[in-house]
Amino acid sequence: MDYSLEAMLGVGAAVVLVSVVAVRASVRIGLPSLILYLGIGVLLGESVLGVQFSNAPLTESLGLAALVLILTEGGLTTRWTQVRPALWQGIALSTVAVAVSIGVTGSALHLLLGLEWRTAFLWGAVLSSTDAAAVFSVLRGVGVRRRLAGALELESGLNDAPVVIAVLMLASPEPLTWLSPVLVVYELLVGAAVGAALGIAGGWALRRAALPATGLYPLATVAVCVLGFAAGQSLHASGLLATYVAALVLGNSNLPHRGGVLSFAEGTGWLAQIGLFVLLGLYASPGALAGAVIPALVAGVVLVVLGRPLSVLVAMLPFRMPWREQAFLSWAGLRGAVPIVLALIPLTHAPESPTNRMLVDVVLVLVVLLTLLQGTTLPVVARLLGVARSTEPTEIQLDAAPLDQLSADLLQVRVPVGSKLHGVYLRELRLPQGAMVSLVVRDGEGFTPTLETRLRQRDQLLVVTTSTVRARAEQRIRAVDRAGRLARWRGESGRS
């Protein structure tokens, strides 16, 4: 095959375009898109079109880089108001449930497959992490109760960090000591602190930087999150956790050009998913996967029947969660690219080990099987368990752009269907002194409003505000969106 620059760019562009079209096809047929991406990679690989690629260290490095971008997109697009009620459940699922899953799955694989204890727990650790890309792409299309959705989103964003630490420890030839748990705690706490600090500092700087081009704001925002990974790793802490926390903080701060930032992050996340799954499909050797089917089926049954349900049960004990919700959490533990990337870590450490090579093949087969089984049935399971909810009105969309040299900001507000801003007169909006609605766009036509203008759903508003009252203006708009014209009497502050 021709490996010239023009050939590589052409093939890369074609793969991206085909993958974008595959997203639409996957939605129509109900097949998770990651399966199609893996299929594209296999099609390009040695068994079909003949592209040779078997570099495990490079695949691992590129996989971790893609995971950083996926976590960045997940954190930036996660609304704190949506996940805050499930904060402690998400933390429990990403820590306690991970430990229980490693213990239960590893013990069962030791007994059923005859693996040595440390190897069995290593397999259990690789299989214990839910996948951020799979959860963010699949779960957000399934209408489930807010607390469940928040817990699963937080779990998928947070649990990569402790799992990576566990895999690195178990894959290393160094013996485990009593200091190992202390090291885990250190890496998680410092990683979270680094991410929070960068998120706060980055948000502060972006709000005060009048950059010369709108497109620079999304680049700077993503760069801050990627910097979180580098800073965390340099301090021997969890860079993945630092990335997700920094993105979560930035995504819930008053970012300039927020809509553009989130759109860019979403596109970057999709590109990372496409590249990652195609790369993993390219790395796979279909001829070697046949021998991994039986171990993969055994591991899958152990994980679905024992590992995940028991880990959810133990993690949710303090919260007295109804069994139906626990059952849904157990079934919604989606696996994707993360376990495959994690399986490459021990192979990189000991490429001569046959069990490490087998682990990669087993995980590839298992991810495909579980994705087809769980990803396609999740909406049905939600309805059968009674945890599905009707579609709720989306949160109001509010974008901001600084007006340089005027010490002012321009807020663009989109009133969603179901918002309690519908029917509110502008005089009842009671924006703070220094803020005013300058334009309303309705049904494609703009007009200058008066105090007697009554807002409607799907309206777009332009609000000019001084920089000093911008935060108060945003809070008031969000408060009325959530609670109506009597928001203050109902105790709604509008804070995120």
Checking if the pLDDT of 24 tops 70, the result is: no
Using a pLDDT cut of 70, give the percent of the chain over it.
87
Per-residue pLDDT averaged across 41-56, rounded?
A: 72
Give the residue among 42, 33, 41 at the shortest CA–CA distance from 15: 41
Q: Look at residue 101 in the predicted model and tell me its pLDDT.
A: 93
- Residue type present at position 139: L
- Domains recognised in the chain with CATH numbers: 32-384 (1.20.1530.20), 397-483 (3.30.70.1450)
- What pLDDT score was predicted for residue 393? 47
Could you tell me which residue, 334 or 4, shows the higher pLDDT? 334
Q: What value does the mean pLDDT take over residues 257-283?
A: 82
Residue 11: other Cβ atoms inside 10 A? 16
pLDDT mean across residues, the chain: 82
- Averaged over 47-75, what is the pLDDT? 81
Give the helix ranges, DSSP H, for 254-401. Answer: 258-283, 286-289, 293-301, 308-315, 323-331, 337-349, 354-370, 376-384
Residue 351 pLDDT greater than 80, yes or no: no
pLDDT at 279: 81
The per-residue pLDDT for range 365-423, each reduced to its tens digit, is 888 888 888 877 887 888 888 887 654 445 666 666 676 666 788 888 888 888 888 88
Predicted pLDDT at 103: 93
Tokens of 389: 């909810």
Q: What tokens does 174 get?
A: 């160094």
Is pLDDT above 70 for 175?
Answer: yes
Burial (0-12, 13-18, 19+ Cβ within 10 Å), 219:
middle
Q: In this model, does residue 45 exceed pLDDT 90?
A: no
Choose between 335 and 359: higher pLDDT: 359
By residue count, the chain amounts to 496
Among 80-84, 109-113, 139-143, top mean pLDDT goes to 109-113
Q: What is the pLDDT of residue 29?
A: 52
Structure tokens at 275: 């590249």
| Residue reference for tokens 């499930």 | 86
Quote the pLDDT of residue 189.
Answer: 92
Q: Report helix angle 258-283 to 132-139, nearest 10.
A: 120
pTM of the model: 0.76
The more confidently predicted of residues 47 and 76 is 76
What is the number of alpha carbons within 13 Å of residue 485 lying toward its C-beta?
Answer: 10
Mean pLDDT to the nearest integer, 184-188: 88
Q: Is the predicted pLDDT of residue 247 greater than 90, yes or no?
A: yes
Per-residue model confidence as pLDDT tens digits over 424-482: 898 888 888 888 898 999 888 888 988 889 998 888 899 998 888 888 888 888 888 88
Mean pLDDT is highest, among 159-168, 311-320, 337-346, 350-359, for 311-320
The pLDDT score that the predictor gives to residue 225 is 94
**Average pLDDT value for residue range 303-330:** 91
Residue predicted with more confidence, 121 or 134 = 121
Helix (H) or strand (E) holding 476: helix 470-483
The stretch 137-157 carries a mean pLDDT of 75
**CB of 338 closer than 8 Å to CB of 167:** no
pLDDT confidence of residue 133: 65
How far is the C-alpha of 284 from the C-alpha of 280, rounded, in Å?
6
Structure tokens at 153: 């989103």
Please tell me the distance from the alpha carbon of residue 388 to that of residue 148, in angstroms, as a whole number.
10
Residue 2 or residue 267, greater confidence = 267
Tokens of 163: 């799992």
